[in-house]
Structure 1
Amino acid sequence: MILKRYFVLFQFLLLIFCFSFFCKPQSTDYSFLSYLGLANQGSYINGIFYPSTNPFVIGDMSHLNGLSGGDTGTVVSATGDDSTLGISTRNNGVADIIFLFDEKGIPFAIDTDGNGVADYYICYKSTKDYYLTTGSRCTGNAVTVIVGQGYDTNGDGVADNPILSQIASDSNPPNSVISPSPGIYGSSTELTIACNDSVAPGNIVYTIDSSTPSFEPIQGSISNPKLKKFTLGSSDGIYTVKYRCRDLAGNVENVHTDPYEFNHNVPTVTISNLNSSGVSSLTGAIGTASFNWSSNYSGTYSIRLNASNCQSGTILQSGNVIANIINSFSISATSFNIGPNTIFVCARAALTGYQTLAIVRDESQPSIIPNPGGGNYGKAQSVNFSCLDNNPLGCGKIAYTLDGSDPNINASNGTILNGIEFQNPISIPVNSAVTLKFIGADLAGNLSPVQSAAYFITTQVATVTTNSFTPVSRVVNATSDQSVTWVSDRNGVFTIRSGANCDFGTILSGTNVAGSVTAGVPVTSTILNSNFVSGANSILICVANAALDPLYGNTSFTITKDNTRPTVSSTNPVDFNIATPVFVTPSPGRIQIVFSKNMDTSFGGISSGSKIKNVCYPIPTNPPLTISVFDGVSWDCIDFTATYTWVSATTLQIDLSWIRFPENAKVTWTLSKDVLRDVAGNTPLNDVQGTFFTAQRQEFFKPFKTDQTSCWDTSGNLVPCAGSNQDGQNQYGMVRSYTVRYYSGFANDAVTEDNTSGLKWKTCSEGKISALNSGVTSCVDIVTPSANCSPKDSSNQPVRLEYWPFYSFQDNSNQVYPSSVNGCSYLNECNAGAGFAGITNWRLPTQRELDTLSVFGYSSGNAAFPSQGFPDPIANYFWSSTLRKSNPFYAWGVNFNYGASDVYVRSNTNNIRCVSGAGTQSQTFTDLGNETILDNTSNLVWQKCSAGLSGNTCNTGTATKPTWSVAISYCSSLSLAGRSWRLPNIKELNSIVDMSSASSIVTIDPVLFPNTKNAGYWSSSSYAPSPSNAWIAYFPTGGMSPFTGKSNTAYIRCVANGP
């Protein structure tokens, strides 16, 4: 049976071994072994592990940052056991981290600076996995030990408690003291050794057997910092206590040696029933000092006057004393010296014991002083008394009255004969005259004379109101003063103070900052700038209701001193950054600036609603705003009118009369610092500047009909359109529809509504005016410019302007040419600001908009405008607001001599026609994957590759370049992707010109239409005035031309209807 039991035990132990060896957990989850009681000796409560034994073993490495946080030093002990356990982060055997233990002897916290108080707490996950927190029981922030530096309590990787670094650099030894002081004691006494250090005190070692205490080797008793208490004197004798301290840096002080003697045979003397600590020989005073005394040992005694021990002084009485018998003694005042005297009562048996008492002989009256003293007060007063007397213990009693009678005291026994004994502060009645009378008796029985103090207290206060401030913002800069106008409803004395309390605030300097105020009379006070500190300053206007301890009527306000210049937080449009290029939408033509602080929105002439015209010539002096557009070489000035609006105290919005920025433009602007300042008066250090690039507005118009209805052969002879597949037969495109209108209230303002595009056009181009006769509108030259609705010259005089450059310039004869970009803006000011025809967003059209007006059906040299809506036959060049992106020296326009879209030198003087409104569609394409491209907006399908080329990148084959008639035949017979193809008309072909292209080689999207040739491409539209020519789109520039003979050759890109 015994063998069987051992065999079962062996099997159990083997099972445990297998689990622990083969089934070893791969993480710190020791729950199974904990269940067996082998791994974690402790228990889990609410997810927190509580060890049952001390998990720190001397010599092991500690991991106060958790198991994965690395070593944090060696576990050490000054005594070799757990009583002085700590961690040496420097691994030198001296602890610079001290453990604190709970009642079970388990470390629960650490002391980092040797003051004996927990700094951080140990959070156990298991006996081997633990870390530090700022709160007990795993609460608060996690704390990281940074060896050599200190403790990181907020997770930023920086030791915000640098104590380890301070300990490492400490070379000064500590200093320890012992209390109570060495001497002779009649019974055992508890002694305390305290270790003091400038950085972190450490272990204490002491002996009581006269041996020299030491840490290495260990000699004596050692304890952790900061205090060590022990009891000495359990038996009589002389004890020699030796002690020293070592700080957490390892510095050790020299040994201290202090002797203590204990003897239980020293008599104990007890004194009682002292009648007074003061005496006086004056009449009516206390003339005798008397007391009782006893000794706990029989023997001899002596009572000595002004002695320093039991062998000195004048013997007043001596003899034998019987143990525990009460004895009486008295002495007259005349036996004492004037002032303090000491009496020793000494009892001697085998040894001598004594007790002392102090008696003051005082022959002078006490001085009683009320506080506060009499006077007029502004708030309720409670009066205390102070007593000045020769006896340091003060007066005996004070009596007072408030009814006008004299108080009195029997000085010999302290009885109050009349009045009230002063024990607590005296509340003085308010709003009436009160006389306080008082008398005092000191401890020697000397009486003061009866004194009095008169009080009058009122608690009503003034109401103070501020009327105005200069500056209104109550924000000053480094030099400006602040003025305030205010009024009080009561007479009084006023001060202007800083702070939040009229009783303690500093009186400020300036004009009218202190003095008398008359009820209802306004006062203007100016506070000098030197009173203010940077930031918010709390200011009080205080009006006192009395001269003493007043209550104040007051009002407060804040003055902010701001020495910081305003800066720009952001601008819109944003500045162009070549690393992350952004091309801004041209609409609206607006600049917005956000400043870093509140600005003075009434300063500089740019308050909200201000409109400031900026001309380019003559060059203005210090204009608020300048704007220029880059032409590829230099910056060109464009005139404008700016409307300024402060959207908020920090945001300035500048709306330009252009309504929109030019397209494809590089624009730079400068806002003068001279028109800007913050509410404190600080100005920006520099002008505010910005430079940005504009894109094209996402605006697309489906191709209009060309209005070409005839067909011609290669020689220019008219032929039937049927079967020709020319533009005149196909008639593809949007149908034009225009209506000329005169809106109510604007009978002289003709507007042409494009019913297809939604745009509204000024019926007459600039330089002409509409005339309505018998219901028919015509456009006639302006003879006398209207003061109400005309462009203005640089002298602000109305002028007739027909021809405009793109930008403003001055020729050699000093003739100033305003820019076409701003040419339409005057219309928005017509009719007293209601705008031409009641419309206030007239502007120069974009190229896409202007292109919608060109027609190609006229066979004569008439202007290529649609006659239905535009009765002015001006056959000339007209500007758009779109620049050529690849070369901004040129701007787009339309030559309405024959309707060609092209680019022109910006200094040319051309006509302009103004527009209002906007298109609502944007152009998008889809690669259908079968060598065709779908224009999703126009619903046209394009041949991806030029004729003769194929493949995804159009690099297979050779682009063909046939004559016009061959081109028409080619497209008509093309069966690509199963569609019916044709040669596009000039409007359709122009719709795929990419005016946003920065390429100087080809103006078409190179991804959608790869390997497009930088040459002309045929359209199916003939040039009606000379029909042996046909229109081509010239893709190197994006322009179009009617001057290519049909017998010449050009490239082909066919089109089909989709989808």
Structure 2
Amino acid sequence: MQSARKFCFSLFVAGVAFVFCSCSPQSPGYGLLAALEGMVTSQANSGTSFPSNPLPFVGHAFFLPGQTVNLNSANKASGGGIVVDPSSAGSTLGIATEGNGVPNLVFLYNGNTNPYAVDVNGDGVPDYYLCYKPDGSVNLTTGINCTGNVVTVVPGQGFDTTGNGVVDNPMMAREKADTIAPSSSITPVPGTYGGAQSVTISCADNVAPGNLDYTLDGSTPTFSPVHGTITNPPKTTFAVGGNGNGDGTYTVEYRCRDLAGNVEAVHTATYIVNHTIPNITIVNSLGSAYLSTNAGAINSTTFSWKSNQAGSYSVRLGATGCTDGTIVGSGTVAANSAQTTFVNASQLVAGVNPIFVCVTAGQTGKLSLTVTLDNQPPTVTPNPGGGGYGSSPVSVQLNYSDNVSTASGYLVAYTTDGSLPSINTATQTITNGIAYSSSTPISVKTTATIRYLAMDNAGNLSTQGSAVYTIDPNLPTVTINSYPSTQAVNGSTDAQVNWQFGVQSGASYKVLLGGNKCTQVQTTSGTGSTSTTTTNYQGPSGVLYSTVSDCECNNGTALAGSSTAYASGNVVVSSPNASIFDIQENVPVVTTMANLNFTAGKNSIVLCVANELNQAHYGSVVGAIWKDTLAPTVTSVSPSGGATGVNPKPGTITLTFSEPMNQSLAPGFSITAYTAKAGQLWQTLDITNIQYSWTSPDTLQVQLPWKFFPENALLQWSLTGSSMKDVMGNVMASNASMAFTTTTYEAASGTWFGQAAPSYNPTPVTIFSGFPSDSVTIDNSTQLYWKTVSETVPTGASALTFYQAINACSYLNAANANAGFAGRTDWRLPSSTELQSIQDFTIATTPPPNAAPPAINSTAFPSTARGWYWTSSVFAGDPSQAWYADFGMPNTTFVNGLLSGANPPYAAMYLRCVAGR
């Protein structure tokens, strides 16, 4: 939530002082500034004299929604777009360059009303800085306060940071090709808390996350028309239960839009604030939210917390709440006494690990946080790669990449003096070298070797890398514009590389397989003060060359294959002959390389342009293409195959593959249950509303429509191999299938659920504000949300079997355009103890007369039928039978009924759906 502030300033017009004040969020008050500018204009038109240069504020106030802005100099093509404000509140201004109304140049502010930089990749960090000119114009630079290189904006493509006419940051082109919606997440975990909570919504995207939109009243946030609070990427934080709002239920609806304009579906999170529940807060946050088991990395961390009430506590790892996970700490805690919890990397599993701190003092309060186990070192790729270049300086970017996406916290160090960069992982400081910043590319003005090293947030170090840049003003400059998708090919596809050369006219060119084949050789002649050292480069042939480009371009392997195009040829001034693959200066060409040229793994390619026909010297660039021919496999699964005593909560199956997968494909997934019935030992279950999500490029999470697994059930899932491919199109070699057995919630958590008497909300039927027709009854003892009206299964020729009933509540999760019935998406069939918790054993008689009321609170649950209701619990002694509850004769408690429901009275079973817990 943005806090309001009051700002005032004075303006002297014709000797009269005007004082302007306004209350607004901590963002530019452009409406007020526009009014001020209009007043100044009207005074100027009336003959009042003003300075020729724009006044403070007024000169910068042209950043108004709807206005056209050119961020390039006057002698260059228009670079910019339309100023837009998705929030319509002056808090999310930016420039939309693609005509879609989405600000892909997001303004950043630094404690004043004027933006000082733009964020072009949605990480909230400045990429380029705004340079305000005395004449009122503005352009972008690589350094703050008009320092560094001038940045040219090329709409639809990206940014040229060196002035050589080549786009070296193709962010706009990447956004233009992006069709994948972003994904957002929320912390803390929705649930019940003892005090106000600071809630953070974060947006992630495959290219660039964008604006977030959220509401706190259960209504649906929309970008057009504007509804909700819209903020800039990549995250936003606000409070629920604070600012005098106090106890109550807060329904947060949220979604994200990436910088390409793709919008994700709405998410819902419900927070209940109740001051009688222990409120747990962080005293000292995690020393590191990322750990690694690798030697020398960050192997452990701590955090401190406290509770406002005394009670017993437990710290649970890998949990979804206070009833599951592994207990890594427990005991008693005094009120407002800080406790320190240690977390070791050896306790974690790969990826994100949730941690819950739970304190019980009559009721249970909780606090959640996450720690990520990351054992994979990062990589650094120089762009452009090492080679020969004909102009100076060469602007080199060191692109950091890691399996865990983070916007900050990592380090990249480099040297240009020949020494090796080093990073102390214990202190997380650079001990030799220069800290690299993406906003300031390395400027190479003379022949030099750049050596680089990176450390990720978990303390893992990359391998030492190096790239040699040979600067010769007589050499052509070669640039790779684009690679194949994902810079990789499979076992059959060809590769296409778009490239060009410029600055100096060339004579001939060739594209080779090779790169990194030449080593530096230093030869010393003479002695003492008269000695000289000569640096040359030697390839496999043993011949010495004066530049690395000449060496690489004379030791590579020529391309082979009939599909190869633009592999070699001549450079011409005009009228190229495409049939013999002539090329021109500054005209892109596409070289097609047959698949047979590549071997499995990384393949280096060298693009060379010679400046003379005879005694040639080469300008070059080195690139890489990977070949992936291996079929992906499933490497790990949770729950594991053959596991017993599996917690029914949550009803998710997680599959990890051997490599990144094609996430656009629909998995061929099925699940069956063991029924122990002759002739039909396995029952295929309905998974109509199943949900698939990729938590990382190689990890698929399957959320079954039942939300929780049925209790005491033997379940078996199968994945059709032909439905899954890796990013290069390789199909899984075989199907995958595993089985596991669940237990009860109570057995998994070690506590019995149904002890407390029901305590229904004061208004037994709760109508959520955003969903006025969705009636829900809340039991405050169990924190369960019951659908007030039960689901009636009509009698007829066929009955509703147990496993049909398991999935019968899932349709509620797709209600309200997937926002869920009453704004919840965790509706399911209740377990036996959950359903028993709402039975009223004082109502019915034995035997009950036909006119007897149902055994339930009729105010909280009006129009309840007297009859039998399915639960989600299989009878542990016989998997062919399951439990149901009798609301006509509750003193019989629970009896086991046939799963098949083949004969009356099983044809008239009822259902009541539940959510929460």
Q: The TM-score by the shorter chain falls in which range?
A: 0.3 to 0.5
Structure with greater contact order relative to length (CA < 8 Å, sep ≥ 6): 2
Scaled by the length of structure 1, what TM-score is found? Answer: 0.34
Scaled by the length of structure 2, what TM-score is found? Answer: 0.39
